[in-house]
Amino acid sequence: MKNIPSVDLNDFLSNDIDKKKAFVNKLGKAYNEIGFVALKGHFLDDNDIKEVYSSIKEFFDLPEDIKAKYELDGFDGQRGYTSFGKEHAKGKKHGDLKEFWHFGQYLDDDEYTKFNYPKNQIVTELPKFNDIGKKVFQSLEKTAIYVLRAISLYLDLEEDHFDKYVKKGNSILRPIHYPPIQTKPKGAERAAAHGDINLITLLMGAQGRGLQVLTNDGEWIDAIAKDDEIVINVGDMLSRYTNNKLKSTIHKVINPPKELWKKSRYSIPFFLHPIGTMSLNVLDSCIDENNPKKYEDITAHEFLIQRLRDIGVL
């Protein structure tokens, strides 16, 4: 069975220059060719993973009227709860077969004003839900920063090129619940084919079949991680920034076989976003005669708002 390439972050973090260089090259090649890798050596531990899955199941099992208390409108809806079927892929009319929650950045009160971020919603019914959400958010953010450092070296940039953009960036941890399917869906999938908006996405919960990736040859392949791995893919912001040198690959979550319709699916992606003022103007080093500039100049915030409108959440 074809699958995405696998890399080990411990190689990048080691003092062995050859291992570090090999990690950078393997990661860069994977992102240039398919846009996805499976990564081991991340900063999540097994207990945190078990606790966060237990906590999100508790939340999604709450009565609808309680969950509805945490659903906000407009840009504020980037935090808290989003109800079933509200979001759809760009260009699709059918809502995805999912409900989800957003944990956002953890800042001092004055920094929320400075960066114009909504504050996190606190679920009073489930104190552990809030605590483990914060811990997982920060563990995945730490992992993501090191992955971006490797990407910087692959692009011949300073290793810390992205640090100033992503520390305190508008990143989101999104626990998702795909409820049991009651009747045959008409044109809808658990998550229709799409590209992610952000710089990179780190996905927990890709150990079973469901997530599929579209290769350059037009073939859908499974993206399945081992128990100690998470899946990390390039988003549209990074693809745009590198003039498509790094690929934001179309992917989807397919509906399961009918015999599994009655079973819920849970997954937890972490979307690494930069601060809104980051320029997404194409890097000069990624433009040449054979690869002319493909995108107009834009900031990360302008691009985010544009895409949130496209998918129906603004």
The model's pLDDT over 225-251, given as tens digits with 9 standing for 90+, comes to 888 999 999 999 999 999 999 999 888
Cβ neighbours, 10 Å, residue 3: 14
Write out the residue range of the structural domain in which residue 285 sits: 6-310
Is 158 part of a structural domain of the chain?
A: yes
Is 219 part of a structural domain of the chain?
A: yes
pLDDT at 314 over 70: no
Quick: pLDDT tens for 151-188. Answer: 999 999 999 999 999 999 999 999 999 888 766 656 55
- Per-residue confidence (pLDDT) for residue 1, from 0 to 100: 44
- Per-residue confidence (pLDDT) for residue 200, from 0 to 100: 97
Q: pTM of the entire structure? A: 0.89
Is 1 part of a structural domain of the chain?
A: no
pLDDT bracket for residue 207 (50, 70, 90): very low
How far is the C-alpha of 98 from the C-alpha of 188, rounded, in Å? 10
The total number of structural domains that make up the chain: 1
Is 224 part of a structural domain of the chain?
A: yes
- CATH code where residue 67 lies: 2.60.120.330
Mean pLDDT value across the chain: 88
Cβ neighbours, 10 Å, residue 186: 6
Is 125 part of a structural domain of the chain?
A: yes
pLDDT at 96 over 80: no
pLDDT at 87 over 90: no
Is 276 part of a structural domain of the chain?
A: yes
Q: What angle, 0 to 180 degrees and rounded to 10, lies between the N-to-C axes of helices 127-154 and 46-60?
A: 130
- Per-residue confidence (pLDDT) for residue 311, from 0 to 100: 72
Q: What angle, 0 to 180 degrees and rounded to 10, lies between the N-to-C axes of helices 17-33 and 127-154?
A: 100
Task: Give the neighbor-by-neighbor strand order of the sheet with 251-253.
Answer: 191-194, 251-253, 211-214, 220-222
Is 284 part of a structural domain of the chain?
A: yes
